Structures are given as C-alpha cells and as structure tokens.
C-alpha cells in the first residue's frame, strides 16, 4: 500500500513546476510526516497541562519513524505533500530551479512541516523573508550535511515561533557562520554554499550577456544557463593566476551556453568586444547588462584580475550577509586558502 502511495506522490512531483523535488525520497516524506505527527502529539499533551518530563519529544529519528501508524501517516500525508509543493514554489522564486541546484535536499524535510504549520501565514512577505533567512543560514552555515534529526526537531517549533510570534532566534540562524576564506574553496556543485551563491547571483534581474534576457525560470533550461568562469581557465593558467582565486565561485557567473562559447579562453578585454558586436547593442546598453552580474566593469575590461577578485568577493559577501541577516566578520585572519575540500576538485565550466 505504501509503495503504491509513494509512486503516486512521486508522479505528482514530476511536473516542471516541481523540478526541485525530482530527487525527493520516500524516507524524506516519512521523516516529515513523523516530525509533524510528533509535534502535534506534544502540543496536545501540553494543552492537558502535562509536566515537561511527561511530554513526548518532537522527533523523526528511526525509532519514531518505525512507530508511525498508518492512521497517522494518512492523517498528515496530504498536508506534508502540500508543504513540499509550497517549498518548491518558494525556492523557485529564489532561483533554485531544479534538484541539481538545491543546496540541501535534507533541509526540505523540516521546511515542509514548517509550511504546514504556517498555513496561509506564509503568504505574508515578511514571513517568507524570515523563512528564507532560516533557509539561507542553514545553507551558508553548512548545517544540513548529515545527522540532522536533532536540528529538524528544533527547527520545527523554533522557526514557527520565530515567524508567527516574533519569538527567539532559531538555533539554526544563531549557529550559522560563514568564513570569507570559504569562498576560495567553493568550486563545484558538490557544496551547498556554492549552490546557494549561484542562486543569489541570479537575484535582482541578472541578464545573459548576449541575449540581454533576464535569467528566470522561463529561459533557465531553454537557454542552457549554467555558471561559467569570468576570467577563463586557459587565460588564468597562462598568466600564472592562483587556482584558489580563478577556479572558485568568485570568478564565476550565470551565462547561457551560447554566450560562454563567445568567451573562449581569452582575456575579458578581448572577448567583451566580441560579445558586444554579436549582441548588436550600444556599449552603454551592454554595460547595463554586465552590471546585473554584480561586478566592476572597469576592472573587468582592464583585465585587472587581482583587484577584480577582491572586489567581487566583497560583493558576494554582501549578498550572503543580506540573505543570512547576519554580519560576516571580514577582519579575521583567514585560514590558508590552499586547503582542499576533497569533494571539490577539478574545473567546472
């Protein structure tokens, strides 16, 4: 029965509006339902004035999942499925278009349950902003990498209270910290923070350099939008640039595959006029398009790689600070950026 039910739910998530959910697992669904079920059990007993030590814990660990009854599953299933759909819609509006672009699939487990409890209150923009602050803090704090059941159990009541009652700062927001040196080690989609920055770079009407069309859900797939090097790898290697600078997220931006082919392996001072000619617009119009990528146009045109990286790094840190609603300490002595993250090797165009 559960297997057939799961197949029906999977099929519901296969439409193009839910591409974020295409890698969704049946265990994710069960965990979300268990989390919500144990929350309601605890809430009901609290209403009966039970002592704190008599209250069941909010949990979605293996034991609680195995103890979930069929009645409980059926009672909460549709609400949780709707919670996942709402999560996908919210993330779509934040430029997370597919499961490949989703920083942490695991973070959707508490997010779906949170959205069930928020109900129509999530239609308030201020409430969405608070939810996304929690989401981005989880992403840039890199807090959902594994063994998250305890955090889920805290997220559910804390985030709901934070949003609906202006309650205390949730632990996930409090715990989140992002080190500026981390930017130099973010090289591939294997990192949640990399995916998060990619999404932030699509904010505020980012446009493709060649077509000048705003990158959104309508053209993200049809135009083969991906993240590409601004100073090409070939140019950086031939000019002795540090890999930790040229192959990290700081030196990348969302562009169409067609635009990237015009860049080739040349310096910006060479490829920008080529792209401009192909675009068929004035230089002022082209500069306005370039500026949507949050970069210093003059440094780019001058092939001033070193100062370009410093400037863009600070611009990206500004975006992360805004998303997290927290200041990043940029005065600390950064760790040696030569450190390698085993999951982030090789070049990604």
Residues 156 and 214 in one domain: no
Compute the residue count for the chain. Answer: 349
* Residue 332 located in a structural domain: no
Residue 338 has pLDDT above 80, yes or no: no
Residues 18 and 153 in one domain: yes
What burial class does residue 128 get, using C-beta atoms within 10 Å of its C-beta: 0-12 exposed, 13-18 middle, 19+ buried? middle
Residues 23 and 158 in one domain: yes
Q: Give the pLDDT score at 35.
A: 97
Residues 72 and 201 in one domain: no
**pLDDT for 179-220, tens place per residue?**
999 999 999 989 999 999 999 999 989 999 999 999 988 888
Counting Cα atoms < 13 Å in the Cβ hemisphere of 42 gives 16
Residue 131 has pLDDT above 70, yes or no: yes
Q: Are 169 and 230 in contact (CB under 8 A)?
A: no
Counting Cα atoms < 13 Å in the Cβ hemisphere of 311 gives 13
Segment 38-49 mean pLDDT: 87
The closest of 108, 347, 96 to 200, measured between CA atoms, is 96
Residue 322 has pLDDT above 70, yes or no: yes
Residues 14 and 162 in one domain: yes
Q: Provide the domain limits for residue 221.
A: 180-324
pLDDT band at 221 (very low <50, low <70, confident <90, very high): confident
d(CA 281, CA 286): 6
- DSSP labels for 307-329? HHHHHHHHHHHHHHHHHHTS---
d(CA 262, CA 278): 9
Residues 112 and 239 in one domain: no
* Residue 344 located in a structural domain: no
d(CA 107, CA 103): 8
Residues 155 and 279 in one domain: no
Q: How far is CA 240 from CA 1, 305, 309, in A?
A: 61, 11, 15
d(CA 137, CA 155): 12
* Residue 335 located in a structural domain: no
Q: Which ranges of the chain does DSSP label H, i.e. alpha helix?
A: 2-12, 26-47, 62-67, 70-92, 108-118, 125-140, 149-164, 171-175, 192-201, 233-238, 243-246, 257-263, 268-279, 283-291, 297-301, 305-324
Q: Which ranges of 93-177 does DSSP label H, i.e. alpha helix?
A: 108-118, 125-140, 149-164, 171-175
Give the number of other Cβ atoms within 10 Å of residue 4's Cβ: 7
Residues 21 and 168 in one domain: yes
d(CA 261, CA 249): 19
Q: Give the pLDDT score at 222.
A: 85
Instruction: Give the pair of three-digit tokens for residue 282.
Output: 């004035």
Q: Give the pLDDT score at 81.
A: 96
Q: Give the pLDDT score at 3.
A: 83
Q: Give the pLDDT score at 332.
A: 57
Residues 159 and 266 in one domain: no
Residues 152 and 239 in one domain: no
**Strand, helix or coil at 172?**
helix
Segment 294-314 mean pLDDT: 97
Residue 340 has pLDDT above 80, yes or no: no
Residues 23 and 160 in one domain: yes
Residue 348 has pLDDT above 60, yes or no: no
Look at the chain and report how many structural domains it folds into.
Answer: 2
Euclidean distance between the first and final Cα of the chain, in Å? Answer: 45
Q: Please identify, among 175, 203, 234, the residue that sits at the C-terminal boundary of a domain.
A: 175
Q: Give the pLDDT score at 128.
A: 97
Q: Give the pLDDT score at 298.
A: 97
Q: Give the pLDDT score at 223.
A: 87
* Residue 255 located in a structural domain: yes
Q: Give the pLDDT score at 133.
A: 98
* Residue 345 located in a structural domain: no
Q: What is the DSSP letter of 223?
A: T
The closest of 142, 26, 100 to 348, measured between CA atoms, is 100
Give the number of other Cβ atoms within 10 Å of residue 64's Cβ: 21
Lowest mean pLDDT among 90-94, 106-110, 168-172, 222-226: 222-226
| b/e burial code for range 13-25 (CB count within 10 A of at least 16 → b) | beeeebbbbbebe
* Residue 264 located in a structural domain: yes
**pLDDT for 89-118, tens place per residue?**
999 999 999 999 999 999 999 999 999 999
* Residue 331 located in a structural domain: no
Q: Give the pLDDT score at 337.
A: 42
Residues 9 and 62 in one domain: yes
* Residue 339 located in a structural domain: no
**Strand, helix or coil at 302?**
coil
């Amino acid at each position: 029965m559960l297997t057939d039910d799961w197949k029906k739910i999977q099929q519901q998530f296969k439409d193009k509006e839910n591409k974020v959910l295409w890698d969704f697992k049946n265990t994710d669904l069960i965990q979300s339902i268990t989390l919500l079920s144990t929350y309601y059990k605890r809430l009901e007993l609290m209403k009966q004035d039970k002592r704190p030590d008599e209250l069941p814990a909010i949990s979605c660990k293996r034991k609680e999942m195995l103890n979930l009854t069929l009645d409980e599953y059926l009672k909460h299933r549709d609400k949780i499925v709707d919670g996942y759909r709402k999560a996908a819609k919210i993330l779509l509006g934040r430029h997370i278009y597919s499961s490949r672009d989703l920083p942490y699939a695991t973070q959707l487990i508490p997010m779906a349950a949170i959205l069930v409890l928020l109900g129509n209150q999530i239609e308030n923009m201020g409430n969405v902003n608070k939810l996304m602050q929690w989401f981005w803090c989880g992403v840039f704090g890199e807090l959902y990498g594994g063994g998250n059941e305890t955090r889920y159990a805290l997220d559910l009541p804390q985030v709901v209270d934070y949003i609906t009652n202006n309650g205390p700062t949730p632990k996930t927001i409090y715990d989140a910290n992002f080190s500026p040196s981390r930017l130099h080690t973010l090289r591939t989609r294997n990192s949640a923070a990399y995916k998060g920055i990619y999404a932030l770079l699509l904010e505020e009407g980012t446009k493709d350099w060649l077509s000048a069309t705003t990158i959104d859900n309508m053209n993200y797939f049809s135009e083969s939008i991906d993240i590409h090097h601004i100073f090409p790898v070939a140019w950086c290697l031939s000019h002795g640039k540090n890999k930790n600078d040229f192959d990290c997220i700081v030196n990348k931006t969302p562009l169409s595959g067609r635009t990237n082919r015009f860049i080739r392996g040349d310096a910006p001072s060479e490829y920008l006029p080529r792209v401009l000619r192909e675009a068929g617009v004035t230089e002022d119009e082209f500069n306005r398009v370039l500026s949507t990528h949050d970069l210093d146009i003059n440094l780019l045109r001058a092939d001033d790689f070193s100062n370009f990286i410093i400037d863009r790094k600070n611009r990206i840190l500004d975006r992360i600070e805004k998303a997290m609603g927290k200041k990043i300490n940029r005065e600390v002595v950064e760790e040696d950026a030569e450190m390698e993250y085993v999951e982030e090797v090789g070049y990604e165009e």
